[in-house]
A = this chain, B = another copy of it.
Amino acid sequence: MGSLGLGRADSRHFKPLDPEEFRAQAHQMVDFIADYYEKIETYPVLSQAQPGDLRARLPESAPYRPEPLESILRDVRSCILPGMTHWLSPSFFAFFPATVSTAAFLGEMLCTSFNSVGFTWLASPAATELEMVVMDWLARMLKLPKSFMFAGTGGGVIQNTTSESILVTLVAARDRAFKAIGIESLRKLVVYGSDQTHSAFTKTCKLAGIHPCNIRSIPTSFHTQFALSHVLLRKVVEADVAAGLVPLYVCATVGTTSTAAVDPVEQLVDVANEYNMWLHVDAAYGGSACICPEFRRYLNGIERADSLSLSPHKWLLSCLDCCCLWVKRPGSLVRALSTNPEYLRNRPSESDSVVDYKDWQVGTGRRFKSLRLWLVLRSYGVANLQGHIRSDVRMAKLFEGLVKSDGRFEVVVPSLFALVCFRFVPRRRRVGPGKEDAMNRELLEWVNSTGRVYMTHTVVGGVYVLRFAVGATLTEERHVVAAWNLIKQGADSLLKSARYL
């Protein structure tokens, strides 16, 4: 034994994954986190930190010697928590929520514990197949046609973000165009969204080499409640074709970021099909609601679209980052994204009998993310998830009702899903012209500065709008009502202020 160094003395001294230490410390962390959730309402929702606060408190270099977990947890309490904007606070109504749940947390623990890399089927067979299974499960919950399912001729994949879902489908569409009309056509390819399409769309198109002049941002207005008009789309496409350009890709949104507007997929897909464009539906937020029959109509026409993405971390209690993408023709993705280096070759891949998810995404490595969705879907069941969506929608309606009941406020567009867009318009007071936006901004800043609620804003149709997005996992009606009371309190103070007389 001696010369081969088999004795314990020659083996690793440093054991960073000792099962017993793991067990003890992970239990300690579970309690730390459960305590955090219990006390979460006591923290300011929006961090009251100033830029540089945390950096100033931490050392310039990593320690040379180990530090005990207790010191680290102490620093989490004293340095990190005060610098957090608490996305899981029940009084977080900003942006769209990022939901988490016990089941998602457990799934994430399992995923991390395996730390498997699923670039090919062989590298993690269960990771690949479970992802195929849960993507089909979710497709069934959404009543997607079989053409988007592995059980049919399509399939789904978990991406990190909507941006990546757009990037991979856009590149698939682009390369299909290259094949048809040559790679030199790049300069002529045109993509279409509305002025409400997420900013990720323009960014992604630029990443993919689409000429910035060929990225169309079609105007919307109050008239369509900020949905993309198929009539306008057709006009813009016709003009482009007349100018010798080549229509490539349309991004339709189900639940825009500003106002949760829904683009009319069924009508947009007519135009897309007519001009041989790829139609992608970005349902990052609104898609989750479509597991409820009463919302499913927003996906009407999906059977003629090319791809659909939806982020369960937004509204299906899965944690970040989890964007589900379904495509009708996986082959088009794989043709655009496949690589076949020798070091990843293996018999199952060569037999073409398996899915190698590396060819469905930007990167090579990938985690076992489907565990998280699998645990959520099984632990809660479709019934509870539908109930959860409906509960959020009901709370948003409650808030909308409260806004409507106060004559000093108006709802800017009828609330869709669980987002309420409203503003403070105290018409009975003589507010100076052009002062309304400033008043709303001031109201928002005051509300957020209390630390008791966090909301955000947008501007649509030239108007500054307050957004109240219900959906944080822990939110209950009492938090919605308390938020409304706080907003009213802010409004009262503003009206008393001399500035707006």
Give Cα A375 to B182, complex, Å. Answer: 51
Which A76-97 residues have C-beta < 8 A from chain B? 76, 79-88, 94-95
**A51-B125, A63-B378, A320-B367 given as contacts; is B160 within 8 A of A160 (CB)?**
yes
Q: Is A58 an interface residue (CB 8 A)?
A: yes
**A124-B84, A343-B467, A362-B161 given as contacts; is B63 within 8 A of A106 (CB)?**
no
Stretch at the interface among A7-15, A239-247, A325-333, A491-499: A7-15
Q: Is A180 an interface residue (CB 8 A)?
A: no
Q: Is A350 an interface residue (CB 8 A)?
A: no
Instruction: Give chain B nearest CB distance to A305 CB in angstroms.
Output: 22
Give Cα A101 to B112, complex, Å. Answer: 10
**A126-B79, A137-B61, A362-B362 given as contacts; is B380 within 8 A of A16 (CB)?**
yes
**Residues of B with C-beta under 8 A to A98:** 115-117, 365
One of B30, B63, B132, B134 near A377 (C-beta < 8 A): B63
Q: Are B23 and A31 in contact (CB under 8 A)?
A: yes
Give Cα A64 to B140, complex, Å. Answer: 12
Stretch at the interface among A200-208, A220-228, A408-416, A424-432: A200-208
Q: Is A294 an interface residue (CB 8 A)?
A: no
Instruction: Give chain B nearest CB distance to A108 CB in angstroms.
Output: 5
Instruction: Give chain B nearest CB distance to A64 CB in angstroms.
Output: 5
A13 to chain B: closest residue by CB: B387
Q: Is A379 an interface residue (CB 8 A)?
A: yes
Stretch at the interface among A162-170, A262-270, A296-304: A162-170
Instruction: Give chain B nearest CB distance to A268 CB in angstroms.
Output: 21
**Residues of B with C-beta under 8 A to A181:** none
Give Cα A255 to B53, complex, Å. Answer: 38
Given A55-B133, A161-B363, A342-B459, 17 new contacts (CB under 8 A): A4-B398, A29-B109, A47-B124, A47-B126, A55-B129, A60-B140, A61-B141, A62-B138, A62-B381, A63-B381, A66-B379, A67-B378, A71-B378, A88-B113, A200-B339, A206-B336, A320-B365
Give Cα A123 to B438, complex, Å. Answer: 22
Q: How large is the interface on A (under 10, 10 to 19, 20 to 34, 35 or more residues)?
A: 35 or more
**Residues of B with C-beta under 8 A to A14:** 380, 384, 387-388, 391
Q: Are A62 and B140 in contact (CB under 8 A)?
A: yes
**Residues of B with C-beta under 8 A to A69:** 106, 379
* Chain A, interface SS category: helix
Q: Is A348 an interface residue (CB 8 A)?
A: yes
Q: List 19 A-B contacts (CB under 8 A).
A: A4-B477, A14-B387, A26-B33, A49-B125, A54-B125, A62-B140, A62-B382, A80-B130, A85-B125, A98-B115, A105-B109, A108-B108, A115-B319, A167-B207, A171-B206, A198-B341, A207-B208, A258-B343, A343-B456
Residue from A63, A71, A162, A187 having most chain B Cβ neighbours under 10 A: A63
Which A339-363 residues have C-beta < 8 A from chain B? 339-344, 348, 351, 353-354, 362-363
**Residues of B with C-beta under 8 A to A456:** 343
A112 to chain B: closest residue by CB: B108
Residue from A26, A61, A354 having most chain B Cβ neighbours under 10 A: A26
One of B20, B35, B52, B116 near A87 (C-beta < 8 A): B116
Q: Is A148 an interface residue (CB 8 A)?
A: no
Give Cα A116 to B81, complex, Å. Answer: 12
Q: Are B112 and A105 in contact (CB under 8 A)?
A: yes
Give Cα A388 to B477, complex, Å. Answer: 52
Q: Is A400 an interface residue (CB 8 A)?
A: no
Q: Are B62 and A17 in contact (CB under 8 A)?
A: no
Q: Are B477 and A11 in contact (CB under 8 A)?
A: yes
One of B27, B60, B101, B116 near A17 (C-beta < 8 A): B101
Instruction: Give chain B nearest CB distance to A384 CB in angstroms.
Output: 5
